[in-house]
């Protein structure tokens, strides 16, 4: 009887393992080759740094409302030598940069043109306007979050004002 007890669990485990092996072999494996990937691929459009170009033109319109079929974020419609170009600058520009961009402003945009749903869109990597250079994307094409920072000049003015106030109150 004792010998019988020790063989029953072993037989049960062996039977379960054999059934599992049979089930694994019976189910067809649907392995497929991985699709070809490109640099900068993610949730948004793909940025091709090898085809980077520079556009010099004038902003005709600043588009902040979402248009179906285009990337999320601000777009600039820029009149250049080859006509009006839709330049995507993304959702992460600082408030002061957004406010500085307006119709009639001359701008230089470095970026790569991509086809998205039948439209050519310039994915801006860098904006140059009014003596400012704003980086929108990394060299690999990933959108960068802009951080609003106070200038060293305004910090030193604040520090001097605090010192003066303390000096006057004594």
Three-class secondary structure assignment of 6-55:
HHHHHHHHHHHHHHHHHHHHHCCCCCCCCCCCCCCCCCCCCCCHHHEEEE
Does 151 or 54 have the greater pLDDT score?
A: 54
The reported pLDDT for the residue numbered 112 is 95
Q: How confident is the model at residue 144 (pLDDT cuts 50, 70, 90)?
A: very high
- For 23-29, what is the mean pLDDT? 64
- Please report the pLDDT score of residue 117 as a whole number: 84
**Structure confidence at residue 106 (pLDDT):** 98
Of 35-39, 61-65, 148-152, the range with the lowest mean pLDDT is: 35-39
Residue 47's pLDDT is what? Answer: 87
pLDDT tier, 104 (very low <50, low <70, confident <90, very high otherwise): very high
Structural domains of the chain, with CATH:
49-145 (2.40.50.140)
pLDDT attached to residue 68: 82
Give this prediction's pTM: 0.62
Closest CA to 107 of 86, 146, 78: 78
Block residue for tokens 């470095």 = 110
């Amino acid at each position: 009887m004792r010998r019988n007890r020790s063989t029953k669990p072993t037989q049960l485990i062996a039977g379960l393992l054999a059934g599992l092996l049979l089930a694994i072999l019976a189910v067809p494996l649907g392995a497929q080759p991985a699709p070809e990937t490109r640099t900068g691929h993610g949730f948004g459009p793909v940025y091709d740094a090898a085809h980077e170009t520079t556009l010099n033109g004038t902003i005709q319109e600043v588009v902040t409302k979402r248009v179906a079929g285009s990337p999320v974020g601000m777009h600039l419609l820029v009149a250049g030598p080859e006509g009006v170009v839709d330049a995507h600058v993304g959702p992460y520009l600082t408030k002061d940069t957004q406010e500085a961009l307006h119709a009639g402003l001359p701008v230089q945009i470095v970026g790569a043109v991509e086809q998205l749903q039948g439209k050519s869109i310039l994915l801006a990597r860098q904006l140059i306007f009014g003596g400012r250079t704003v980086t929108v994307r990394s060299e690999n094409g990933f959108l960068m979050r802009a951080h609003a920072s106070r200038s060293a000049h305004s910090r030193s003015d604040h520090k001097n004002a605090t010192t003066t106030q303390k000096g006057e109150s004594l």
